[in-house]
Amino acid sequence: MSASVAEPVEPTIVVAGASVVTAAARGRAAFAAALEQPSDTPRTRIEGFDVATLPEAKSLRRATPHALFGLAAAAEALQEAGGAVAPEESALLVASTLGAANFSYRLWQELVKSGPLGASPMLFSEGVPNALAGHAARLLRLLAAGHMIGGGSGCGLRALAVARDLLECGRARRALVGAAEEWSELAERSFARFGIVAREGAPRRASRGLPRASRGLPMGEGAAMLCLERRDGGERAGAPALATLRAVESVQLPSLRGAAAVDELVALFERTFALARVRPSDVRLASAANGTAADRLEAAALARLAASGAGAPRGVSRRVRALCGETFSVAPLLQVVEALAVVAAGEPAAVLSLSPFASATLAVFTAPPPSERHG
């Protein structure tokens, strides 16, 4: 007799906790409630942020705003997830488009004006792109793999994809995934010239994939953090799951306009929904629309899907950016928090990111297994 070989069990990757820090609301539940309130003007700048609520607040008195926003959201996401996971099994993935742009700008100003001996050491240590990741790993004891991912607005969902891979291959049991941005006058002026964000009185130029008519949205700031866990056989470290991450896929587009870009985006939708094993017409989509050429590309791809036999996602939502403005890497993860509310209501949800640099990422979430559900 030959011994039977057990079939490998596909790991389940779930969202165990989530939190946000924005000008509109702080915390997952408060943010979901804010999305339900129509807003004519985005709430973009965070005022009166209380550093005292952070762990070891005294050591953070010189930290950048984007690091403080990210740490606050990270601590709250881990608190919601609950349970105890060994630091050596807890990974960290942080994304940002601008990082500590304000500190970096001030550092270069001092270097140019005063030379290396006159520049503040504090600006160097806090002005590096991975300052938030360093603070989070130290204060929250996240000692497995740690990565800082930079790029356009899609890098928040790219971090989600890397976290999924780390969990699936067993390099971590839990992964904190997030993004943080702070408002920067220099970045706002620069992006406004290319129609990526809106700024009153700023000239706008055409750039690759962005026609002159693009307007963009006001630039915002904030952070969003998710706690992902690998759960096999119903075993869990803490609270019941909020949702299951079924698939996350990316593609580099030739541009944000033209038939080839539409073809690539349609293929991304079809591939991701097939991997997630959901019907497109059952899914509610958190839109990537941001007042630029991305709007027209997304609309063209959805129209193509609607005309096909598979159908297109329904109930497309554009509420995140209408509420918070353009927050770059944070926006797609705020869309994930919106998707969690959709999943809690009993429907699968998808999140699309379209970067001004012509990359696209799509993530699909469904209800967790029955043994994992809240309530």
pLDDT digits (tens, 9 = 90+) for 283-296: 999 998 888 888 89
DSSP secondary structure code for residue 357 in this structure: T
- Among 249, 242, 250, which residue's Cα sits nearest to residue 343? 242
- Model confidence at 35: pLDDT above 70: yes
> Residues 78, 176: contact at Cβ < 8 Å?
yes
248, 272 Cβ separation under 8 angstroms: yes
Q: Can you tell me the distance from the alpha carbon of 193 to that of 197, in angstroms, rounded to the nearest whole number? A: 8
Q: Mean pLDDT check: name the lowest of 6-20, 155-169, 325-339.
A: 6-20
What does the pLDDT read at residue 1? Answer: 45
Domains of the chain: 12-243 (3.40.47.10), 246-367 (3.40.47.10)
Q: What's this model's pTM, rounded to 2 decimal places?
A: 0.91
Q: pLDDT band at 237, cuts 50/70/90?
A: low
Q: Return all residues near 190 (Cβ < 8 A) that are at least 6 apart.
A: none
Question: Could you tell me the pLDDT band of residue 201, with boundaries at 50, 70 and 90?
Answer: low
> Mean pLDDT throughout 12-28?
96
Mean pLDDT, rounded, of the chain: 87
- Count CB neighbours of 121 within 10 A: 8
Question: Does the structure show a pLDDT above 70 at 243?
Answer: yes
Q: What is the pLDDT of residue 209?
A: 43
pLDDT at 179 over 80: yes
Q: What is the mean pLDDT of residues 110-127?
A: 78
Asked whether the beta carbons of 46 and 38 are under 8 A apart, the reply is no
pLDDT in tens, 203-223: 544 444 444 444 678 999 999
